[in-house]
Amino acid sequence: MDELRRAGVRAAEIMAGHLEGVSDGPVWRPVPAAERAWLGGLPLPEAGRPLDELLDDVGEHV
């Protein structure tokens, strides 16, 4: 349960960091080509992966 709490706090910090600056920018922000290529090039997962890895990806690419 501690791992879930830690991951929840980390996810909230990523989200809060994003929202802090969102009002300073435009309403619509197109997804950059590099990010679309990264996301579109990922194969569908066949197995799970650690939550920390997923949060790393969210923090970097979303």
Q: What is the pLDDT of residues 20-57, one digit of tens each?
A: 988 888 989 898 998 888 888 888 889 999 999 999 98
Which pLDDT score, from 0 to 100, does residue 39 have?
83
Which pLDDT score, from 0 to 100, does residue 45 have?
86
Core vs surface per residue 22-50: b (16+ CB within 10 A) or e: eeeeeeeeeeeeeeeeeeeeeeeeeeeee
